[in-house]
Amino acid sequence: MPFSDYQTAFVTGASTGMGAAIAERLAKRGLKVHVAARSEDRLNELADRTGATPHVLDITDASALSSAVDGLEIDVLVNCAGVSRPGNILDSTEEDLDEIVDVNLRSLLQLTRLVLPGMVERDRGHVVNISSIAGLYNFYGHTAYHATKAAVHQISRQLRNDTVGKRIRISEICPGRVETEIFGRNLGGTPEAMEEAWQTYYEGYESLTTDDIVNAIDYAIETPRHVNVGMLELMPTFQVPGGLTFDRRA
């Protein structure tokens, strides 16, 4: 369905990075956009700039999610909120694992559970899930992050089965490295950490930008109503997935 068929959108993780850029594009496309995140200052700034309606909440709080979407007829749901951690399962804490699962997976399921029935009833809607190449390929990274993004990939497929026969489209946007704050937050979120992350992960690399992600979503939504763009994998030209590691032990 083109944008003209839709009226209202809901975007999570909208305080910064991809989420904020997505919300801004949807607003420019003429949708009434609701944005959710924990940062009140950033959400209010986004609201002032775009006219979006801010919902300051913890995405892992199912009751808060239910209150935020109560009474809304959401046509476009963008599940963008996500967190990661440095290291892997060997040095994870209980809190690390819980937060990754709660933000990346449980909140997505709960919000989709709340919104999708209305789409089914109206026979109209589009769910966009932001996953990651970490969900498709095994490489060094946080095991729980890879696991949750693999789950998002499968959920996106399964939602097509759940809504078969209805004019509801499900799109998964599966990016490689994107220039956002995620690595800086992993390093502590301080200005020094942000600078270190930029120099380590972005300086000298041709990474994806938030515009690249936004343009992919724009394309998926704007295709004719009989077309479902199931998954778009976006990679920097100089980044490749996979590879074989064979460690030699003397």
Beta bridge partners of 127: 77, 170
Q: Active-site residue 137, yes or no?
A: no
Residue with tokens 């959920």: 155
Q: Give the largest Cα separation in the chain, rounded.
A: 64
Alpha carbons 116 and 127: distance in angstroms, whole number: 8
Residue pair 101/144 in contact (Cβ under 8 Å)? The answer is yes
3-state secondary structure of 186: helix
Contacts 24+ apart (CB under 8 A), 131-139: 131/156, 131/172, 131/173, 131/174, 132/82, 132/174, 132/175, 133/174, 133/175, 133/176, 133/233, 133/235, 133/241, 135/174, 136/174, 136/233, 136/241, 137/241, 137/242, 138/242, 139/241, 139/242, 139/243
Order across the sheet with 32-37: list the strands: 53-56, 32-37, 8-12, 76-79, 125-130, 168-175, 231-234
Residue of 145, 201, 202, 205 marked active site: 145
Q: Give the Cα-Cα-Cα angle 160, 106, 117 (nearest 5 degrees).
A: 45
Alpha carbons 26 and 49: distance in angstroms, whole number: 13
Annotated catalytic residues are: 145
